[in-house]
Amino acid sequence: MALLRIRKDGDDVLRGKARPVTNVNASIRQLVEDMVETMRASRGIGLAAPQVGVPRRLIVIETDDALHEVVNPEVVRAEGREVAIEGCLSVAGVVGEVDRAAKVRVTGLDRDGRTIWLEGDGILARVLQHEIDHLDGVLFTDKALAVYETEPAHYPEAKRLKVLFMGTPQFAVMSLLSILRDGHTVSAVVTQPDRPRGRGMEVAASPVKQFAVKHRLPVLQPGDCASSEFVRRVAELEPDVIVVVAFGRILPRSLLDIPRLGCINVHASLLPRYRGAAPINWAVMNGESVTGVTTMYMTERLDAGDIILQKEVPISPQDNAGTLHDKLMVEGAALAEETLRLISLGKAPRTAQDEGSATYAPLLTLKDEMIDWNRTVERVCNQIRGMSPCPGAHTVRSGKKLKVLQASAVQDEPRHGSPGEVLAADEAGGFVVKACDGAVRLEEVQPEGGRRMPAVDYLRGARVLPCEVLGANT
């Protein structure tokens, strides 16, 4: 076996359409072995033949200790959608958020020329699609919704730390990436157990686990963070510091006492405001014009530890919870990186929180999701922004939920109608609903059991009539 040179963005071979393999012979099998060796040596999770300069339709993938070698791969079925962070051995210095099918079925040939079928979800589905894109001359950056630079910061005076990382959702992935790129050693990644997710409620790994597996980091998924077995396992790792980003649980004192430099948390608000599980949603719903991220030393109390660093982030009138999430995710990763630098130098500041200024951002409930048309136009629009894209604010029409994912205030305030009443329902006037002091134009909706769509598309098939009343009792 031989290590092959990985081609980088700008090389013409990455932009051409690879040719099918017509004969799975000894030379193809040797190429497969060399690609596997190259992928492993580069700490990759997938590799396509064009990435090593060979314009043939051949990919190798290794996830969860399972090796997949597919000649002439073809996606024959795709289901669902998921957005996640991706990188590439051929594209240095950036990662991106890419929207892909959540589950795929792929057919192709094995190294002996026999037909195979491969079902994949989670990270396997993502890597299959990523590598097959390479065969068509497509890079992940071509499809990315957003691209972030990942070139390491250079702090010659800073010390590299041994980090235990704890996180679960997509928001935490960027911080983990930032810690790795800055040269710290991540001894293990702790994340929530695999759980049913999505509309199909199929068991899937968290985004943090998917990222950790891709980067070959040890993963721990304790059912109980206070169990003596888990605490002992963490103590054996001897971390200098524990970094927690949206992990989803309060840590017991037995864990907080383990790292010699403490446990730090990245929180998506300007503490002490918006302590709790849903700071991004509540900041938007409450009509804030600015929020931010905070790093703090953790205590047993919820988000009450001493502040290390903070960074303000403006909230524009066009932001919703999703767009603000992405802004704070990037800023939080940068703040985590700077915080670890200061901690390594013994220069991290420490400021107690003002308990009198504390506010809270509790978990969202079904009641929070329900649109109350008796509120002002501003509050209704803020609620819709703060709930979009997930979980989605909703009203009720004909006994079924209708999610409203985007809306705006109608400038000419109508003085007739009662709250929840449909004032217009056609392509010319749009889908307009009365609030207590004006009207709201619904711009994007999702009927119960259906897909999200422009409101005008919904009107074409739903037969909404002016004077209908939307709300919990309709």
- Enumerate helices (H) and strands (E) in the chain, giving the number of each: 12, 21
More confident residue, 12 or 96: 12
Question: How far is CA 393 from each of CA 198, 348, 403, rounded to the nearest angstrom?
Answer: 18, 40, 6
Fold of 152-357: Rossmann fold (3.40.50)
Catalytic residue among 14, 31, 44, 46: 46
Q: Name the catalytic one among 62, 97, 131, 331.
A: 131
pLDDT band at 54 (very low <50, low <70, confident <90, very high): very high
| pLDDT for 147 | 84
Distance CA 439, CA 418 (A): 10
What's the confidence (pLDDT) of residue 51?
A: 97
- The band of 283, judged by pLDDT with boundaries at 50, 70 and 90, is very high
Q: Who contacts 392 (Cβ-Cβ below 8 Å, separation ≥6)?
A: 369, 403, 404, 405, 446
Q: Which position among 4, 14, 31, 51 bears the catalytic label?
A: 51
Identify the residue with better confidence: 469 or 326. 469
* pLDDT tens, residue by residue, 214-224: 788 999 999 99
Give 122-171 pLDDT, tens digit per residue. Answer: 778 899 999 999 999 999 999 998 887 765 555 556 688 999 999 999 89
Active site residue 130: yes
User: Among this protein's residues, is 68 annotated catalytic?
Assistant: no
What pLDDT sits at residue 310? 97
Tell me, what's the pLDDT at 156? 53
Query: 370-419 pLDDT, tens per residue?
Result: 999 999 999 999 999 999 998 999 999 999 999 999 999 997 766 688 99
pLDDT of amino acid 287: 97
* Choice among 14, 108, 134, 210 that is catalytic: 134
At residue 473, the pLDDT reads: 62
Residue-level pLDDT at 428: 81
pLDDT over threshold 90, residue 198: no
The pLDDT assigned to 75 comes to 95
Question: Strands, E, within 16-157: which ranges?
Answer: 46-48, 58-63, 66-88, 91-109, 115-121, 144-149
| Residue 97 known to be catalytic | no
Give residue-wise pLDDT tens across range 300-320: 999 999 999 999 999 999 899
| pLDDT one-digit tens code per residue, 1-40 | 789 999 999 999 999 999 999 999 999 999 999 999 999 8
Give Cβ neighbours of residue 22 (< 8 Å, ≥ 6 apart).
none
Position 211 scores a pLDDT of 87
**CB contact set of 444 (below 8 Å; sequence gap of 6+):** 404, 405, 406, 407, 452, 453, 454, 455
Q: Which residue has the higher pLDDT, 465 or 138?
A: 138
pTM for the model: 0.75
With a cut of 60, say whether residue 365 has pLDDT above it.
yes
Q: Which of these ranges, 156-165, 359-368, 423-432, has the smallest mean pLDDT?
A: 156-165
Amino acid 83: pLDDT: 80
* pLDDT score recorded for residue 433: 95
* Rounded average pLDDT over 193-207: 80
Residues in the chain: 474
Query: What confidence tens digit (pLDDT) does each residue in 68-84 have?
Result: 999 999 999 998 887 87
Residue 179, pLDDT > 80, answer: yes
Please give the CATH topology (third level) of the domain spanning 12-147.
Answer: Peptide Deformylase (3.90.45)
pLDDT of residue 214: 79
The band of 41, judged by pLDDT with boundaries at 50, 70 and 90, is: confident
- Based on the residue annotation, tell me whether 51 is a catalytic residue of this protein: yes
Return the SS3 of 162: strand
Q: Name the residue ranges covered by the structural domains of the chain.
A: 12-147, 152-357, 366-462
Per-residue pLDDT, 186: 96
- Name the more confident of 392 and 472: 392
The hierarchical CATH code for the domain 366-462 is: 3.10.25.10
Q: Mean of the pLDDT values across residues 226-232? A: 95
**190, 165 contact by CB (below 8 A):** yes
Q: Which one is catalytic: 88, 256, 324, 405?
A: 88
Share above pLDDT 70 across residues of the chain, in percent, rounded to a whole number: 96
What is residue 474's predicted lDDT score, i.e. its pLDDT? 54
Q: Is 46 annotated as catalytic?
A: yes
CA–CA distances in Å: residue 206 to residues 83, 140, 149, 235, 415: 12, 21, 23, 24, 49
- What pLDDT score does 27 carry? 93
Mean pLDDT, all residues of the chain = 91
Per the DSSP assignment, residues forming a β-bridge with 275 are 360
| pLDDT of 415 | 66
**Which is higher by pLDDT, 283 or 160?**
283
pLDDT at 400: 94
Answer yes or no: 467 catalytic.
Answer: no
Q: Of residues 44, 118, 124, 130, which has the active-site annotation? A: 130
Of these residues, 31, 47, 89, 402, which one is catalytic? 89
Could you tell me if residue 276 is left (phi over 0), alpha (psi between -120 and 50 degrees) or otherwise beta? left
